[in-house]
Amino acid sequence: MSLTDTLKEAFLEEFSELNIDNVDNYAKENNKAIIFLCSFNDGFNEKIEKVLGDIIIKNVRENYYPRLFRGRSPESLAYPKYLAYALEKNSFSFDELRRINLENDSWRNNFIKKHLDGNLLKNLKEKLLNSS
């Protein structure tokens, strides 16, 4: 394994442990390294987007789900686009959806349609690369 591959793996491992709220600061602190690692055309950019998706889902499960469970409206969340992403990726079981009153397919589909940003991961990745 090359040094570059080792650096990429170390970055992805560390990056995957972040909370979505820490991504901006992490990107600012490591901007040059991130740009360097993304300069190779070897699928690394797609791996970053996958990790960003995983971070969003983890954030929704850890931070938004408890709020929804306590009766908070999905519309009142700071970033409903993150919940829409997690719903679109089927990140919750039917029982979990039922507990937070989101089991209605029609409502859920309308929420996703209204809030889902089809370029969410791409935009977040671009923000990583441009946050010096």
Note the pLDDT tens digit of each residue in 75-87: 888 899 999 999 9
How many domains in the chain? Answer: 1
Q: Which pLDDT band, with edges at 50, 70 and 90, does 132 fall under?
A: low
The SS3 of residue 17 is coil
Provide the whole-model pTM: 0.88
Residue range 89-112: mean pLDDT, rounded: 90
Q: How much is the CA Rg of the chain, to the nearest whole Å?
A: 16
Return the number of other C-beta atoms located less than 10 Å from residue 120's C-beta: 20
In eight-state DSSP terms, residue 19 is -
Residue range 92-103: mean pLDDT, rounded: 88
Residue range 102-108: mean pLDDT, rounded: 87
Residues spanned by the domain of 23: 3-129
The answer to whether the CB of 129 falls within 8 A of the CB of 34 is yes
From the number of C-beta atoms within 10 Å of its C-beta (0-12, 13-18, 19+), residue 58 rates as middle
From the number of C-beta atoms within 10 Å of its C-beta (0-12, 13-18, 19+), residue 17 rates as exposed
The pLDDT of residue 92: 92
Note the pLDDT tens digit of each residue in 26-65: 989 999 999 999 898 788 989 999 999 999 999 999 988 8
Note the pLDDT tens digit of each residue in 106-126: 999 999 999 999 999 999 999
